[in-house]
Amino acid sequence: LWQRCLVRLEDELPSQQYTMWIRPLQAAVAQEGAELVLFAPNRFIVDWVRDKYLERISELFAELQDGPVPTLTLRVGAARAATPTPAPAAPAPVATAAPVVAAPGQQFASPAAKETGPVAKHRHNLNTSFLFENFVEGKSNRMAAAAAQQVAENPGTHGYNPLLLYGGVGLGKTHLMHAVGNSMLKRNPNAKVVYLHSERFVADMISALRNKTINEFKRFYRSLDALLIDDIQFFAGKEQSQEEFFHTFNALLENGQQIILTCDKFPKEIDGLEERLKSRFGWGLSQPMEPPDLETRVAILKKKAEESRIELPNDAAFFIAQRIRSNVRELEGALKRVIAHVRFTGAALDVALVKEALRDLLAIQARQVSVDNIQRTVAEYYKIKIADLLSPRRSRSVARPRQIAMALSKELTSHSLPEIGDAFGGRDHTTVLHACRKVKELREGSTEIEEDYQNLLRSLTS
């Protein structure tokens, strides 16, 4: 009976709790069918188990036992010395790592018993290819990656629980989240780590309510060492799910079980999310993830090419990275097309091949960003009039933005230098060329201008 009970407890409890409180217990039958004694190595464990787990153990006994349920007694001591009389409080044996009652190969360790538990259902839902090792760090994600590493090493640490990663699509939130889970499992293969999308949580909860298995549902989530919920913005407007999640959330936090969440925006900005949840989400650490800068985009391309065993020359990597800016997913998509093109044609991977492989993509981009659009965006950014950009005025306050707008037009559209000159009040193509060179120089010499330029690029291309 105790062995069957252990199988269930192992399933239901976070592995840390199980190892710490349940494993050291040794069972001995005091009176066949009438009394079972659980020996614990010390008084502290006895008290703790009585407080936290005894009720559940009794429930399980009642559930698992066909005949009369034996009464349960908790004592300090070791099972070997088990007699109907209490074991002397003398030297308490140190908790052994291995359960004494369940011999290896018995039901306790039976894989069949595990497969049927609710945990087995979710155990393999981590994507094993999302790792810290293949996550490229840069300015835009370094803080988030560091926080994730910290959580992987010390799950449940106060101040890092919950860990919330937020930011736009394709920036690596899901990747980092899985990386934490994979790393936790590597450190502790028994850890119960569950990843799921918030929509899945909602769907599971609804079916648990319908099938009247909500208690099992609750117990399952409360049994985890770490719960990873992706895209919590989908909780918006789903009141009942929020309610259930709120309770699960609190139960886990109270016991120091780790929670990791991702969201496409800062949770305070989600409409339809309860205030108490918003404030709870902020209890731990919230880390933004930003679109990667050029250098990081190049590093990501290089890394992914290497993983595909493709030699990607620097100029080709820069060419792609300069044009695909919005997020890593699109960057990956572009690289996949390039690689497919290389494999298909057998041609050498160079800038010409990249242009060919990404032709439609670049054409769409060029069409999307018009010179008009650039002029409007730049004027707004520098708080000047569009007419100023087109006018002959040469004062610095308009000449600089004008040069930047010209350089952006050259970079983002497929218009020729004379066409761009025309669009800026009929200027000569050499003026445009000069502007492009000047802006390049300014960007290299001033972080402020580089930042302006990047901001403008981002708002024009995202």
Q: Where on the chain is the footprint of ligand ADP (CB under 6 A)? A: 130, 134-136, 141, 169-175, 300, 328-329, 332
Q: How far is the CB of 197 from ligand ADP (least distance, A)?
A: 10
Minimum CB distance to ligand ADP smaller for 56 or for 329 = 329
Rounded to 5°, angle at Cα 25 from 50 and 29: 95
In the block, tokens 């997913």 appear at 329
- Which residue of the chain is nearest ligand ADP when measured via CB? 172
Which partner, Mg ion, ligand ADP, none, binds residue 347 by CB below 5 to 8 Å per kind? none
Whole-number Å distance between alpha carbons of 143 and 137: 9
Which burial class, exposed, middle or buried, applies to 53 when counting CB atoms under 10 A from its CB (0-12, 13-18, 19+)?
buried
Residue found under tokens 């290089």: 302
> Distance between CA 263 and CA 168 in Å, rounded?
8
The residue among 135 and 249 lying less far from ligand ADP, judged by its C-beta, is: 135
Which of 123, 122, 106 has the alpha carbon at shortest distance from 4? 106
- Measured distance CA(449)–CA(368) in Å, rounded: 24
Choose the binding region for Mg ion from 101-109, 129-137, 169-177, 415-423 (rule: CB under 5 A).
169-177
Work out how close the CB of 333 gets to Mg ion at its nearest, in angstroms, rounded to a whole number.
15
Distance CA 48, CA 51 (A): 5
Nearest distance from residue 334's CB to ligand ADP, in Å?
12
Written as six digits, the tokens of 314 are 């620097």
Residues with Cβ within 8 Å of residue 267, at least 6 apart in sequence? 164, 166, 232, 273, 277, 278, 281, 282, 286
Give the integer Cα–Cα distance in Å for 131 and 143. Answer: 16
- Is residue 327 a contact residue for Mg ion (CB under 5 A)? no
Q: Which is nearer to ligand ADP, 141 or 409 (CB)?
A: 141
Contact 70, 60 (CB under 8 A): no
C-alpha count within 13 angstroms, C-beta hemisphere, residue 19: 10
Cβ distance 277 to 242 under 8 Å?
A: yes
* Spatial CB neighbours of 346, under 8 Å, sequence gap ≥ 6: none
Query: Residue 170, annotated ligand binder?
Result: yes
Q: CB under 5 to 8 A by kind: which of ligand ADP, Mg ion, none does 450 bind?
A: none
Least CB distance from residue 263 to Mg ion, whole Å? 10
Closer of 95 and 236 to Mg ion (Cβ) = 236
Distances (CA, A) of 122 to 227, 392, 397: 11, 67, 60
Q: How many residues bind Mg ion (CB under 5 A)?
A: 2
Q: How far is the CB of 238 from Mg ion (least distance, A)?
A: 19
Q: Which stretch binds Mg ion (CB under 5 A): 170-178, 215-223, 288-296, 409-417?
A: 170-178
Position 38, amino acid: L
Tell me whether residue 174 is annotated as binding: yes
Shortest Å distance, C-beta 458 to ligand ADP: 16
**How many residues belong to the chain?**
462
Pick 117 or 288: Cβ nearer ligand ADP? 288
Q: Which helix (H) or strand (E) holds 73?
A: strand 71-76
Residue 169 binds what, of Mg ion, ligand ADP, none (CB under 5 to 8 Å, by partner type)?
ligand ADP
345 is in an annotated binding site: no
Q: Known binder of ligand: residue 168?
A: no
Between 329 and 376, CB nearer to ligand ADP: 329
Is 174 a binding residue for Mg ion by CB under 5 A? The answer is yes
235 and 273 in contact (C-beta within 8 Å)?
A: yes
- What does 328 bind: Mg ion, ligand ADP, none (CB cut-off 5 to 8 Å by kind)? ligand ADP
Phi and psi dihedrals of 266, rounded to 5?
Answer: -65, 125
Indicate the residue among 228 and 342 with the shorter CB distance to ligand ADP: 228
Smallest distance, Å, CB 264 to ligand ADP?
Answer: 8
**Smallest gap, in angstroms, from Cβ of residue 300 to ligand ADP?**
5
Q: Which string of x and - marks every residue 121-160 that binds Mg ion (by CB under 5 A)?
A: ----------------------------------------
Rounded to a whole number of angstroms, the minimum distance from the CB of residue 122 to ligand ADP is 19
Please tell me the distance from the alpha carbon of residue 60 to that of residue 53, in angstroms, as a whole number: 11
Q: With 0-12 CB in 10 A as exposed, 13-18 as middle and 19+ as buried, what is 398?
A: buried
Instruction: For ligand ADP, give the closer residue by CB, 136 or 406.
Output: 136
- Select from 52-60, 64-72, 126-134, 166-174 the region that touches Mg ion (CB under 5 A): 166-174
Which of ligand ADP, Mg ion, none has residue 329 at its interface (CB below 5 to 8 Å by kind)? ligand ADP
Contact 392, 425 (CB under 8 A): yes
The nearer residue to ligand ADP, 141 or 257, going by C-beta atoms, is: 141
Binding residues for ATP: 170, 172-174
Binding residues: 170, 172-174
Residues near Mg ion (CB under 5 A) are: 173-174
